[in-house]
Amino acid sequence: MKTVKDINFNNKKVLVRVDFNVPLNDDLEVTDTTRIEAAKPTIHNILEDEGSCILLSHLGRPKNREDKFSLRHIVNTATEILGVQVKFVEDCIGPAAQEAVDNLNPGEILLLENVRYYPEETQGDRGFAEKLASLGDYYVNDAFGTAHREHASTAVIADFFPNDKCFGLLLASEIENVKKVLSDGKSPVTAIIGGAKVSSKITVIENILDTIDHLIIGGGMAFTFIKAMGGNIGGSLVEEDKQDTAMEIMRKAKEKSVQVHLPVDVVAGDSFSEYANTTNEPADNIPEGWLGLDSGPRSNEQFAEIIAKSNTILWNGPVGVFEMEQFAEGTKKLGDAIANATKNGAFSLVGGGDSVAAVKQFGLTHKVSYVSTGGGAMLEMLEGKTLPGIKAILE
């Protein structure tokens, strides 16, 4: 896997696809700098070679050229984090972009305007990709968060750099860390799959069954399994049309000697609200009018015991509605158990928007082995798919 470490970029202009799709508040200020910080090692590597960086990114899903999606709003934050003045040009192709690139000196950074201001970007348009490609000598993809999209700046552009393309350090690291779970995981391997719906995680679960020893299923999706097995789940979230699928997953897991662990008790609320009345109930006997919104104390203990004995841990999805304080305990306890196992030598990979948000909320970011920056991209890798943005660099 060729990375920026394998190339000398001296006096070269390097197009770097970064994922600066960061959240902004109402005053258009960056509220989470994780993705900008994640790109820093790759950018600095190029600058230290006396190369210059031309950064490509999207922001949001603009329909037209709405100002709120302009990347100029992140220039000051990027400058602060990267420690180098980030120049900006209000286009990503055409005369203005070309002039800004021509004036770029070694050791400098230029951020181009939002590539999604052009519909050709998401259409994977070859002509648009060629115009972007004409701006640089090398192409580096460091945007894991968009590696599953076959867009002009993430996949198609690489065709124009047959010998002058490579992975950035973040993207290479993401690939290696997913591989540590999927193919190099030290046994026992435990996967914790949570969140609301079974339907969004079916392919992931089916693909990892050959790799794992334990599967912990939590969150709203657990109730589809519990109901399929004959349990009473009250008013809890359920996918009625996925009960056969749930039973099929249980059957396949048994066939492959994977132990499946579902919640044995829950914290139930009488409404989906942080002001709900709550009660602890068996997970398979929730009264009518109540809905399971968090894993209960016995479940938390059992999950922690399994995690403590694990050497490799994958966490994708919370086990409760952790955004509401009174339904956050299960997810927090789970995070603490993973942090403890990591401290004792286990490898832990956390991915998926909600899990990453939980890890940040509970201050566990630096207590797990790796936090993935790409929710959808990581899920597709776990499903066994080859991502277009990765394939384009390898070809």
- 354 has binding-site annotation: yes
- 292 has binding-site annotation: yes
- 130 has binding-site annotation: no
- Dist. CA 26–CA 99, nearest whole Å: 32
Q: Given 13, 17, 35, 242, which residue is catalytic?
A: 35
Q: Which two tokens stand for residue 307?
A: 């995690």
Q: Is 35 a catalytic residue?
A: yes
For tokens 């997953």, what's the residue? 249
- 352 has binding-site annotation: yes
- 323 has binding-site annotation: yes
DSSP alpha helices (H): ranges in 56-140? 75-82, 94-102, 119-122, 126-133
Q: Is 376 a catalytic residue?
A: yes
- 59 has binding-site annotation: yes
C-beta neighbour count of 129 within 10 angstroms: 24
- 149 has binding-site annotation: yes
- 375 has binding-site annotation: no
Among candidates 347, 230, 358, which has minimal Cα distance to 294?
358
Q: Is 126 a catalytic residue?
A: no
Q: Given 12, 107, 126, 376, which residue is catalytic?
A: 376
Q: Given 197, 252, 385, 391, which residue is catalytic?
A: 197
Q: Is 353 a catalytic residue?
A: yes
322-329 long-range CB contacts below 8 Å, 24 or more apart?
Answer: 322/294, 322/354, 322/358, 322/361, 324/273, 324/274, 324/293, 325/274, 326/267, 326/269, 326/274, 326/276, 326/278, 326/294, 327/267, 327/269, 327/274, 327/293, 327/294, 328/294, 328/361, 329/267, 329/294, 329/300
How far the first Cα of the chain sits from its last, in Å, is: 11
Q: Given 353, 360, 363, 384, which residue is catalytic?
A: 353
- 116 has binding-site annotation: yes
- Dist. CA 62–CA 74, nearest whole Å: 16
- 199 has binding-site annotation: no
Q: What's the one-letter identity of residue 152?
A: A
Tell me the three state secondary structure of residue 236.
coil
- 107 has binding-site annotation: no
Instruction: Report whether 320 contacts 268 (CB < 8 A).
Output: no
- 19 has binding-site annotation: yes
- 151 has binding-site annotation: no
Catalytic residues: 35, 197, 353, 376
* Residues of each annotated binding site: 19-21, 35, 58-61, 116, 149, 201, 292, 323, 352-355
* Residues of each annotated binding site for (2R)-3-phosphoglycerate: 35, 116, 149
* Residues of each annotated binding site for substrate: 19-21, 35, 58-61, 116, 149
* Residues of each annotated binding site for ATP: 201, 292, 323, 352-355
